[in-house]
Amino acid sequence: MASAASADTKEQLLNVAEQLIAERGYAGTTVRAIANQANANLAAVNYHFGSKEELFRAIFSRIAKPIVVEQLAILNGLQKKETLPSIEEILTAFLKPCFQKIVQNESFRTVRAQFMGRCWSEPEPLQSIASGEFMESRLAFLKILQQIIPDCSQRELNWKLDLVIATMIRVQNEAGKPDSLLKSSQPEDVDCAVHYLVRFLTPGMSV
């Protein structure tokens, strides 16, 4: 029973910290506030995670890993075709899991989108933590883009992909707000947002 209670406390700390960071940012979220809202002892954060930074890493990792797995699976399917995939297919493969996986948990849909949006704009070392979790998929997508757009230098592809990510972050940050591109966490709204983003970003990636 003790181990089950400990696991429940850990999960509650993760959930509460994710929500508070989404609302207030990393600097605006204290360990005490996390513990209080999770109905946990202040020492529980250090016990389960070691530090606030490692708590952040754990939250980001549990969101990012399924996204990366799905991105690479879609990319692998595209690469098995006889012809090279289009830029539209590559951008869809990159973006769609970022939104779909985030909104799978009904109770955390908008919070999770806002959390991911905030993470990319946080100072170091948080940005490095976020970038590191997505490095495998980033390198894989850069490699296929280099094949599709051979005249584009690696440096140029890097900043173009950074602009794709920046646009995605903006959409995630504004999720659920009036006049936002991602109007709600419903699957049809996610598909619509991804379709619009791909149409918008493809010309910039192509030039």
Per residue in 157-194, pLDDT tens?
Answer: 999 999 999 999 888 878 778 888 888 777 888 899 99
Q: For residue 3, name the pLDDT band (cuts at 50, 70, 90).
A: low
Question: Residue 100: what pLDDT?
Answer: 85
Q: For residue 152, name the pLDDT band (cuts at 50, 70, 90).
A: very high
Q: Which two tokens stand for residue 199?
A: 């149409």
Instruction: Give the containing element (helix H, strand E) for 190.
Output: helix 187-206
Q: Tell me what the pLDDT averaged over the chain comes to.
A: 91
Q: Using the predicted structure, report yes or no on whether residue 86 has a pLDDT greater than 50.
A: yes
Give the dihedral sign, CA 193/92/116/164: negative
Specify the 3-state DSSP secondary structure of 41.
coil
Q: What homologous superfamily does CATH list for 60-205?
A: Tetracycline Repressor, domain 2 (1.10.357.10)
State pLDDT tens for residues 95-139.
999 988 877 666 667 788 888 888 888 889 998 999 999 999 999
- The third-level CATH classification (topology) of the domain covering 1-50 is Arc Repressor Mutant, subunit A (1.10.10)
Helix axes 109-119, 52-79, angle to 10 degrees: 100
> What is the rounded CA–CA span in Å between residue 141 and residue 3?
41
pTM for this predicted structure: 0.89
**Residue ranges per structural domain of the chain:** 1-50, 60-205
Out of 39-43, 97-101, 132-136, 152-156, least confident range: 97-101
